Amino acid sequence: MVNNNTRKITALIKEKAGEIGFDLVGISTAEPFYAARKILQERSLSEFIANDIELLTTPDLHLAGVRSIIALALSYASSAVQMQHQEECYISLYARGKDYHKVMAQKMVQLSEFIQKIRPGAKVKAYSDTGALLDRAIAQRAGLGWIGKNNNLINPTYGSYLFLGEILTDLELAADQEIIDRCGDCELCLKSCPAGALIDQYHLEAKHCISYLTQQKGILPEEDRKLIGRNLWGCDRCQQVCPFNQGVPVDRHQQFKARLTGDIQKILSFFKGGIEPAWRDSALFWQGLRILKRNSIINIVNSGNPDYIPLLSREINNPSPLIRAYVVWALGELDYERNKTKLKALYQKEREGIVRAELAKIFAGKNKERSDDND
């Protein structure tokens, strides 16, 4: 039974969260997330979350004595969504403004300090998309929305363009009721996934997701490079088609205003000490400049446009073996005959294994094509 004092404290915290600027706030109990644990045990985990299912689903392992979890959300829905279709490559909406981790962290610090002010000695611990806890499961239990068939949290007012965070506390707060799933028979997200990563309702196979591929480090198989298509960073297709994202409030936070555009030439011109602040302060920079350049090169190949060859040639001596590997692959894909002398000369002097491997595949492929033509 929740007493009046608990209700009063809960109301004060929610009111303050609104003043700070959070669009949604709800309270979850802190029991382990047993249903989510069972699902995770049956599936492969993304490398971007903790590889410890018990840690992911047990709040008490993060804050001893935790009794409540304050679930928080900020909307990043933007009026710039139409502009994205006119650019040479696509950047997911969440990554076009200031890094949401920083924005969420600042606001959660304010709320944590307020909690400790009104209840001195209260314990708090905050997270926002760090992979340590299941943000969406917490938000669902706290009544912020339901988890849709595309695995995103959907709120009836703000849709799924939401950044999520949570504050664990040892205070007893009045928990909110969950919202009933409203997806019904709709399967637009499943049918629209360009990579087929949504293999069933509520089941995302992360290793096939374009958003995941654009963030994965290292050398990608050629089939994954093709899947990326013209996506520079992320993919929003399963959100764009969702009926609950139509007509939602937009541009609620200046920090998330779209500042970045899919400009390949600009990205390839960046060097370690010469990156524009808007790019460095974005969430897409968390994997570093090399991955952005790699994705740009993949986008160039998928465009099939040989006009990019002079731009690519400037990266042929890039100090990163990863970038050189993708550059030689791109030159071979876009116009082998035009670039074969250059590629053969590179093979003679290149010492890095990953670059030589890409060159060897190019030569082997062309030799096979000639052999097939002669048969």
User: Active-site residue numbers?
Assistant: 129
Q: Which position has the token pair 């710039």? A: 80
186 to 148, 151, 181, 203, 215: CA distances (angstroms): 10, 14, 12, 15, 29
Q: φ, ψ for residue 205 (rounded to 5)?
A: -90, 95
d(CA 128, CA 152) in angstroms, rounded, equals: 15
Q: Measuring CA to CA, which residue among 231, 288, 217 is closest to residue 262?
A: 231
Residue 181 exposed, middle or buried by CB count within 10 Å (0-12, 13-18, 19+) = middle
d(CA 230, CA 234) in angstroms, rounded, equals: 10
Residues 6+ apart with CB under 8 A from 163: 73, 74, 75, 76, 94, 100, 103, 104, 128, 129
- Per the DSSP assignment, residues forming a β-bridge with 257 are none
Q: Measuring CA to CA, which residue among 250, 264, 224 is closest to residue 91?
A: 264
